[in-house]
Amino acid sequence: MPGEGFLKTKDVMKPEMIGKEVMLRGWVYRKRHIGAKIFIVLRDSEGIIQCLVVKNEVDEKTWEEAEKITRESSFMVKGIVREDPRAPGGYELKVTWLRIVGLSDVFPIRGGEGIDYLLDKRHLWIRSRKLTAIMKIKHSVLKAAREYLVRNGWWEVTPPIITASACEGGATLFEMKYFDRKAYLSQSAQLYLEALIFSLEKVWSLTPSFRAEKSRTRRHLAEYWHLELEGAWYHMEDMMKVSEELVSYIVKRVLEERSEELEFLKRDKVMLERALEIPYPRIKYDEAIEILQRKGFRIEWGEDLGADEERALTEEFETPFFITHFPKQIKAFYMKLDPQRPDVVLGFDMLAPEGYGEIIGGSEREDSYEKLLQRIHELGLDPKEYEWYLDLRRYGSVPHSGFGLGVERLVMWISGIDHIRDTIPFPRFRERVYP
RNA sequence: GCCGGGGUAGCUCAGCGGUAGAGCGCCGGGCUGUUAACCCGGUGGUCGGGGGUUCAAAUCCCCUCCCCGGCGCCA
C-alpha cells in the first residue's frame, strides 16, 4: 500500500503500543466537539479508534482542521497511543497533528433511516460496520471453499454466462440481445460443467447466476453467486459427502478467521460449532412428509415443500441436514431416477438450521441417453434444445453427480442475518437495479 | 402474479373533513471526557401523481405509480 509509516487501527490498539507516536489514516466515523476538546473516531478497514484533539495542546492548523472536519471526511492523523477506559475499545490517540484529505459533505446516513432510503444510498451505506463485517465473512467463505476444493483435487473452470437456451425453467431467464439474436443470462453452469468432467473428472466453478423470478422474499436475489461442482464417477452419496465436508470446512475457517465479525453481528457461535461435525443428518422426502403431517401440516406425498414446511423442518435439527429422494415430478429432468424406486429421483437438498433453509441443491445425473430423452419428453421439453447435452450421453457416458451452492444463502446463515440483501454489496431485485 | 402494510420537512413519523406538526438533521451560539453527547436560538413542505365529492380535502371516493413484509418458485 502506498504511503509508508501509516498503521492500521488494529495494530495500534495493543498494550505494547502505549506511549508510542503513530500515524493513521481513515474516515471520520463519529465526531463530538465539547468546548476545547474534539473527539474524532477514526474508521479504517480494520476497525475504529477514538482520537482526542485538545485545543491548547496542538498547533493552530491542526485545531482548525479538527473543527472543520465532518463525519465521513477522510483524514490523516498523528498522535500518541494511550489506554483509556472511556474510549470505545479501551484505546485512544492523543492527537499531535491532523490533516483533512477529503472533506465530506453532510453524510446522508446517520442511523434510523428506512430500508428503501438505505438501498437508494447503498453506495454510501456499504461502508457501514455491519456490511463491512458481512463482506469480510463472505471473503472467508469464498477463500475457504477454494482451499477445500483445491486441496481435494477439484479443477476450477470458467463456464459461460451467456447461453443460447433455457436449460431449466425458461420462464425465469433474463433475455438479452446477442448481436442480431436472442440469448439468455445463465441460471446455472451445471450443463457446461457436465461437459467438462469428461476430461477433468472433478470440476467446479464460481459464477453469477441470474433468475428473473418475480419473487419478493428475504431469500431471493435476481443476481447471486453460484458455487457449482460436478464429478465424474460420483454417485449421490459420494457427492453428499463432498457437500457436507465443504460446508463444515467453510464454517470451521470462518470461526477461525472471522471471530470478531461474528461477535460484532452478535452471531451465536454455538450454532455454527454444531455444524463442524459431519455427517449431517439425512432424511428422505417420505420422512419429511411424515414429520410435517405429524406437526399438523396439510401436505400430501408428491407436493413440493413450501417455505413454512421448510422452516418447520429446520426446527427439527440443530445442524445442516439433507432431504433426499424427492418425487420426480417436482424435480428437474436431468436428475437420475432411483433404480429401486423410479417415482423418486436421486436428488438431495441441504438445508441450514434456524429457519434458514435450502443452501444446496444437488443430484446424481441421468447418464443414460434413452432415459434422459424419455424424461425430456415426459416433461414436455423440446429435445432440440438439449441436443448437445444429450450428446454427452452418447460419447462415453459415465455416472456423475453434482450440486450448486448459493453463496449468499450460506453467508446469510453463517452471519445470522435476516435478509439476503445484506450478503451482497449491490443487491439486485425485481424492483431495484440502482445503484 | 397474489395477500397485507405504507408513501406528509433532508431522515423517522404523528395528524385522518375546518389556516401543515414533533423528534432528529442542518445553520448560528455555548460547553475541556464525549459515546447516535448535551443546552439555547434559528431553518425547513406543490402531504407520491391524476381526477372527483364538498363552502372547505393530507384527511372521503375512483384511477394510477412507487416502496416494504409475506406467499408461490428456487440457490
pLDDT band at A171 (very low <50, low <70, confident <90, very high): low
Question: How many angstroms is C1' of B64 away from CA of A216?
Answer: 22
User: Which pLDDT value is given to residue A373?
Assistant: 94
Q: Which nucleotide is nearest to A190 (CA to C1')?
A: B75
User: Which pLDDT value is given to residue A430?
Assistant: 84
Q: Which nucleotide is nearest to A405 (CA to C1')?
A: B75
By CB atoms closer than 10 A (0-12, 13-18, 19+), residue A89 is: middle
**Mean pLDDT, chain A, integer:** 93
Question: How many angstroms is C1' of B1 away from CA of A284?
Answer: 32
Residue numbers 365-394 of A with CB closer than 7 A to any atom of strand B: none
Would you say the C-beta of A333 is within 7 Å of strand B?
no
Record the cell numbers describing residue A121, joined without a space: 444510498
Record the cell numbers describing residue A19, joined without a space: 506511549
Would you say the C-beta of A108 is within 7 Å of strand B?
yes
Q: How far apart are CA A320 and CA A335, in angstroms?
A: 22
pLDDT band at A385 (very low <50, low <70, confident <90, very high): confident
| Contact call for residues A122 and A426 (beta carbons, < 8 A) | yes
User: Which pLDDT value is given to residue A212?
Assistant: 86
Record the cell numbers describing residue A6, joined without a space: 501509516
| Contact call for residues A231 and A196 (beta carbons, < 8 A) | no
Residue numbers 294-313 of A with CB closer than 7 A to any atom of strand B: 304, 306-310
Would you say the C-beta of A68 is within 7 Å of strand B?
no
For residues A137-162, give the mean pLDDT.
97
Q: Which nucleotide is nearest to A332 (CA to C1')?
A: B74
Q: Which nucleotide is nearest to A349 (CA to C1')?
A: B75
Question: How many angstroms is C1' of B64 away from CA of A342?
Answer: 52
Q: Which nucleotide is nearest to A119 (CA to C1')?
A: B67
Residue-wise pLDDT for A199-229, tens only, equals 999 999 999 999 888 778 899 999 999 999 9
User: Which pLDDT value is given to residue A315?
Assistant: 87
Is the pLDDT at A168 greater than 60? The verdict is no
User: Which pLDDT value is given to residue A382?
Assistant: 85
Would you say the C-beta of A156 is within 7 Å of strand B?
no
Question: How many angstroms is C1' of B8 away from CA of A116?
Answer: 17
Question: How many angstroms is C1' of B9 away from CA of A37?
Answer: 33
Give ∠ CA A186-A190-A195 in degrees, rounded to 5.
115
Q: Which nucleotide is nearest to A94 (CA to C1')?
A: B33
Would you say the C-beta of A43 is within 7 Å of strand B?
no
Residue numbers 220-259 of A with CB closer than 7 A to any atom of strand B: 220-222, 224, 226
Q: What ipTM was assigned to the predicted interfaces of this complex?
A: 0.89
| Contact call for residues A51 and A40 (beta carbons, < 8 A) | yes
Find the range with the poorest average confidence among A153-157, A201-205, A295-299, A361-365: A295-299
Question: How many angstroms is C1' of B53 away from CA of A368?
Answer: 71
Is the pLDDT at A88 greater than 70? The verdict is yes
In this prediction the pTM is 0.95
Q: Which residue places its CA closest to the C1' of nucleotide B34?
A: A32
**Chain B nucleotides near the protein (CB, 7 A):** 1-2, 10-13, 23-27, 30-37, 66-75
Would you say the C-beta of A72 is within 7 Å of strand B?
no
pLDDT band at A3 (very low <50, low <70, confident <90, very high): low
Would you say the C-beta of A37 is within 7 Å of strand B?
yes
For residues A281-298, give the mean pLDDT.
93
